[in-house]
């Protein structure tokens, strides 16, 4: 009865993760429980973001709403939800959030073996105009079963066990990798479940789009300027690339992942380390890009090889289609030699 309105073998994210878990007979399901709490956080934020326009949730912190309640900005609200969901999972020991200056060390009674780094609502400056925003997260295992210390989250991105993002746009899409490929799930509000809609995502080897804030062009270094020039005025007679820049990392990266091309937030004279944060923006997106057959470069090295020294450290980033990033790496290598 293929014509049935409802498919019956629904591959929900929960079932998908349990399938993954079954490949690791030694695992006790801790990871699946952790992910289910992250998924809960995403569902909550999706509902809050969708309601924001109506319930005036988007007010600035400190204002009061019609009920005279203290307004919480959506990113503050989202952060509280994720922190509470992660702590209550009983599977985490250290949390690093874009919203919190210091790392959060989970109390011993609730402590587990995973460290989670996350940006609860990236691009939140775009909420008021309805542009897609998102949650970005990465998961590390505690280095050795001892006391959880800050060093346990200052690990290179290549040590991540999993990474993902949830984009709150026309639909709510969660893109996840647990180290064996990338899969996309879309929230079905009528079921309250994320359903597998983008199995085994692979980024095109080469793309026709470049994505950068051209407003920073006067501050770019040579290789970045040369690459963008090549996108706009190709010398080999190939068509110029299209510029697509949303200004919300999750949306720009999601388009890059599905359509191909390259997303760049380069260093510039104003910000020598670029703008994006290593732990909870650069690493998770780089992890996903590599898992989807793309790559990610900092201007000096493979992004996932970076070893952060501070939890809110920034890095330049060039990520996307394998061949496009190769071109950027060649331009930086040539400058090294010059």
Residue 125 lies near ligand P6P (rule: CB under 6 A): yes
Which residue in this structure is represented by tokens 């984009």? 167
- The residues in 136-155 that bind ligand P6P, with binding defined as CB under 6 A, are none
What's the CA gap between 224 and 325, in Å, rounded? 11
- Using the minimum distance from each CB to ligand P6P, give the nearer residue, 119 or 290: 119
User: What is the full DSSP assignment across 105-144?
Assistant: EPPGGGEEEEEEEEEEEETGGGGGGT--EEEEEEEEE-SS
What's the CA gap between 64 and 52, in Å, rounded? 15
Closest distance between ligand P6P and the C-beta of residue 123, in Å?
4
Among 78, 79, 92, 248, which residue interacts with ligand P6P (rule: CB under 6 A)? 248
Among 213, 229, 307, 335, which residue interacts with ligand P6P (rule: CB under 6 A)? 213
- In 10 A of CB 123, how many CB atoms? 22
Element (H, E) at 275: none
Closest distance between ligand P6P and the C-beta of residue 247, in Å?
5
With CB under 6 A as the contact rule, which of the stretches 52-60, 122-130, 198-206, 314-322 interacts with ligand P6P? 122-130
What's the CA gap between 245 and 169, in Å, rounded? 16
Size of the site for ligand P6P (CB under 6 A): 9
What's the CA gap between 276 and 253, in Å, rounded? 13
Closest distance between ligand P6P and the C-beta of residue 308, in Å?
17
Compute φ and ψ for 156, nearest 5 degrees. -65, 155
Closest distance between ligand P6P and the C-beta of residue 307, in Å?
22
Closest distance between ligand P6P and the C-beta of residue 254, in Å?
12
Sign for the CA dihedral angle at 302, 268, 139, 169 comes to negative
Closest distance between ligand P6P and the C-beta of residue 216, in Å?
7
- Using the minimum distance from each CB to ligand P6P, give the nearer residue, 241 or 255: 255
Query: Torsion angle, CA of 147/149/151/153, rounded to 10 degrees?
Result: 100
Among 122, 268, 290, 324, which residue interacts with ligand P6P (rule: CB under 6 A)? 122
Residue 214 lies near ligand P6P (rule: CB under 6 A): no
Residue 324 lies near ligand P6P (rule: CB under 6 A): no
Residue 320 lies near ligand P6P (rule: CB under 6 A): no
Which residue pairs from 301-304 have beta carbons closer than 8 angstroms and sit at least 24 positions apart in sequence?
303/157, 304/156, 304/157, 304/158, 304/160
Residue 275 lies near ligand P6P (rule: CB under 6 A): yes
Residue 249 lies near ligand P6P (rule: CB under 6 A): yes
Residue 247 lies near ligand P6P (rule: CB under 6 A): yes
Residue 317 lies near ligand P6P (rule: CB under 6 A): no
Closest distance between ligand P6P and the C-beta of residue 99, in Å?
13
Closest distance between ligand P6P and the C-beta of residue 196, in Å?
26
Which among 96, 82, 97 has a CA at the least distance from the CA of 40? 82
The residues near 39 (Cβ < 8 Å, ≥ 6 apart) are 13, 14, 174, 194
Closest distance between ligand P6P and the C-beta of residue 119, in Å?
8
Compute φ and ψ for 112, nearest 5 degrees. -125, -160
With CB under 6 A as the contact rule, which of the stretches 17-25, 167-175, 242-250, 319-327 interacts with ligand P6P? 242-250
Structure tokens at 192: 């309250």
- Using the minimum distance from each CB to ligand P6P, give the nearer residue, 29 or 247: 247
- 166 has which bridge partners? 135, 174
Structure tokens at 186: 């879309």
Site string for ligand P6P, 5-44 (x = CB under 6 A): ----------------------------------------
Footprint of ligand P6P (CB under 6 A): 122-123, 125, 213, 247-249, 252, 275
């Amino acid at each position: 009865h293929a014509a049935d309105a409802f498919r019956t073998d629904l591959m929900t994210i929960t079932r998908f993760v349990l399938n993954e878990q079954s490949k690791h007979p030694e695992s006790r399901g801790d990871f699946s429980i952790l992910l289910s709490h992250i998924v809960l956080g995403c569902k909550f934020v999706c509902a809050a973001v969708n309601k924001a326009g109506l319930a005036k949730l988007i007010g600035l912190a400190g204002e009061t709403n019609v009920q005279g309640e203290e307004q919480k900005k959506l990113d503050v609200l989202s952060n509280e939800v994720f922190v509470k969901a992660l702590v209550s999972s009983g599977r985490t020991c250290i949390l690093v959030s874009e919203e919190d200056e210091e790392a959060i060390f989970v109390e011993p009674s609730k402590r587990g073996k995973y460290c989670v780094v996350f940006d609860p609502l990236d691009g939140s400056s775009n909420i008021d105009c309805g542009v897609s925003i998102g949650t970005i997260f990465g998961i590390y295992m505690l280095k050795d079963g001892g006391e959880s210390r800050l060093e346990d989250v200052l690990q290179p991105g290549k040590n991540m066990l999993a990474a993902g993002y949830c984009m709150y746009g026309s639909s709510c899409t969660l893109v996840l990798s647990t180290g064996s490929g990338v899969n996309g799930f879309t929230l079905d509000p009528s079921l309250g479940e994320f359903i597998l809609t983008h199995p085994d995502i692979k980024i095109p080897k080469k793309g026709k789009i470049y994505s950068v804030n051209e407003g920073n062009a006067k501050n770019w270094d040579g290789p970045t300027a040369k690459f963008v020039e090549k996108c706009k005025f190709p010398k080999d007679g190939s068509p110029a690339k299209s510029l697509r820049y949303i200004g919300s990392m999750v949306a720009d990266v999601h388009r890059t992942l599905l359509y191909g091309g390259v997303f760049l937030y380069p260093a510039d004279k104003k910000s020598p380390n670029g703008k994006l944060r290593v732990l909870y923006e650069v690493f998770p997106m780089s992890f996903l890009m590599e898992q989807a057959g793309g790559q990610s470069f900092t201007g000096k090295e493979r992004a996932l090889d970076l070893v952060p020294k501070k939890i809110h450290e920034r890095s330049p980033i060039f990520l996307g289609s394998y061949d496009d990033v190769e071109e950027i790496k060649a331009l930086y290598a040539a400058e090294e030699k010059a």
